[in-house]
Amino acid sequence: MKMAGHMGMEEGIEELERRRAKALELGGAEQVAAQHARGRLTARERLAKLIDPGTNFREFGMLNVSERPEMADRTPADARITGIGIINGRKTSICADDRTALGGSDGWVGSFMKRPRLHTMFTQKGYPEIYLGDNLGGLRLPDGMGSAGMSRAPLPPPLLKDPRETPRIAAIMGECFGEPSWMASLADFVVMLKNGCMGAAGPRILKIAIGEEITPWELGGWELRYNQTGEVDRVAENDEECLNIVREYLTYMPAHNGEEPPIVPTKDPTDRRIDDIGKIVPDELNKGYDMHRVIKRVVDDGKFFELKAGFGKSLITCLARLNGRVVGFIANNPFFDAGAPSVQSCEKAASFICLCDSFNIPLIHLADVPGMFPGSISEKQKLPAKIINWLEAQNLATVPKLSIIMRKSYGIGYNVMMQPCETADFVVAWPTASVSFVDPTVGVELVEGRRIEASPNPKEIRERLKQEWATETTPWKAAEGGYFDDVIDPRDTRRWLTDTLDIIVGYRRNLIGEHKLRVWPTKF
């Protein structure tokens, strides 16, 4: 005998299919059309393009809706589509905001029950985590108003106490305020659409609360986040490019910190000489060049993945491979500010070191540094503190650390670019390297300037002293004294790096570090 109100098998399956179909409609045809009119994909379309072709997305919480009855019909999956997808052949945890459901706003069920629960579960399983942000409204006010509402939903609950155990990626794919900004700040890697933006609070609340009138893009557009604050690592023209960047980034990452990143076989010979290196790097110490060209010639197949290219441009941070193994490059770029690291560069370097140390990626320094970028503006931005921050991160990192001094390395720039110390595995120099506290030209003026000007032949004495001081800066004495492990032919740079990494790997064949920096902040 069937109980009143109880469904039979056939009726239950029909109701299940109805509810699933309702969820797949997202916020309805009108809202889907509006999303397409903005030139953007829906959350489900993004998921379909992100995961490997021919694979399925295993969704969790598909039947969720807002706990508030008046919002239930407008909140399929409670605006959060979460589950496991296959990306590059590996299981990956994914959460996508559904802009068509109340603007993708944060509800109690979707944002503070479903997503955090899955985060905790899948981090323990060792799955990388991807967040596709498209949340215009932030927290739904009815869900957060009052002491009880605010107390139960203050911030993404588990994320603020977890160390880096699995890679976290955030994609800002719309006008995002509130939660997407926190998620991006917690992520190791952030990519942002050029027509997107993000901020702690949106323009409407700013106008009401403090009377400031500003557009979303003036408040938190990509130029600000990519070029000025460094919160965004890469930018994309459209949804497809954004998702492809996420996929590419994951090829350089392990699934979790207990394994190495994937090793990809290459046909690029490890002993390949860089015969044209002299055409790329000028002999003259004061001539600029683009360090990207050097990196391209050194790494496997000329391929590398740069992070924060618009921020702190005098320093390059990028992921690449040497003999198939993922490595991280920190390299001065004399094309900008003569390669002198700025406050931005310090923040960029410390963040990158944390990333590499957390996920077992060896660090390689290519030094061509005239010192740090000085001046009153730098001092107002706490340059000394930022330098120490960089050095602390460098010394705590337990992944292999190699350094090549190319043309010059002066002052504290010598230290931040991995000078010979107990935490460096190997430091070598090119025969062209000039190493000293300051540029010999500057040193002569500081020490002998007054005496030179008082002499009968200042020009001749100045040039003679410059030559004498320059002789002292060559790499030979440091090599003779055991401070440098070797002086190498610049053409053998690739061969030295690949051979040395192979020596460090040893017969144990793994490079799992101690991850001392996994609890450091991702943003500085």
What average pLDDT values come out for the chain (524 residues) when binned by 10 residues? 71 93 94 95 97 96 91 91 96 95 86 82 90 84 67 55 85 90 92 92 79 84 92 96 98 96 96 95 91 98 97 97 98 94 94 96 95 83 88 94 93 86 88 82 64 72 66 86 94 97 86 89 72
Starting at the edge strand that comes first in sequence, how are the strands of the sheet with 234-236 ordered? 58-60, 80-87, 90-97, 129-133, 168-172, 189-193, 234-236
CA distance linking residue 274 with residue 298, whole number of Å: 7
Q: How far is CA 438 from the centre of its chain?
A: 32
Which pLDDT does position 157 carry in this prediction? 45
Please give the Cα distance from 272 to 298 (Å, whole number): 9
pTM: 0.92
Q: Are the CB atoms for 396 and 270 separated by under 8 Å?
A: no
CA distance 515 to 94: 24
Q: What are phi and psi of 362, to 5 degrees?
A: -60, 145
Residue 270: per-residue pLDDT: 96
Report which of 100, 190, 169, 109 is spatially closest to residue 137, judged by C-alpha positions: 100
Which tokens go with 80? 């959060």
How many residues make up the chain in this entry? 524
First-to-last alpha carbon distance for the chain, in angstroms, is 66
Q: How many other C-beta atoms are found inside a 10 Å radius of the C-beta of residue 215?
A: 11
Q: Measured on CA atoms in the order 520, 522, 523, 524, is the torsion positive or negative?
A: positive
| pLDDT tens column, 459-481 | 766 767 667 666 678 899 989 99
- What per-residue confidence (pLDDT) applies to 158? 47
CA distances from 436 to 370, 374, 484 (A): 10, 17, 14
d(CA 74, CA 452): 81
pLDDT digits (tens, 9 = 90+) for 182-234: 899 989 999 999 988 998 877 777 778 788 888 888 888 899 999 999 999 99
Phi, psi (rounded to 5 degrees) for 224: -65, -50
For residue 49, CA distances in Å to 94, 240, 370 come to: 13, 8, 46
441 Cβ neighbours under 8 A, 6+ residues apart: 466
The Cα–Cα gap between 294 and 497 comes to 13
Position 521 scores a pLDDT of 79
How crowded is the C-beta side of 456, counted as CA atoms within 13 Å? 0
Distance CA 365, CA 409 (A): 12
Contact 182, 131 (CB under 8 A): no
Domains of the chain: 37-143+155-250 (3.90.226.10), 277-433+474-505 (3.90.226.10)
Tell me what pLDDT residue 447 has. 63
**How many whole angstroms separate alpha carbon 388 and alpha carbon 290?**
27
511, 295 Cβ separation under 8 angstroms: no
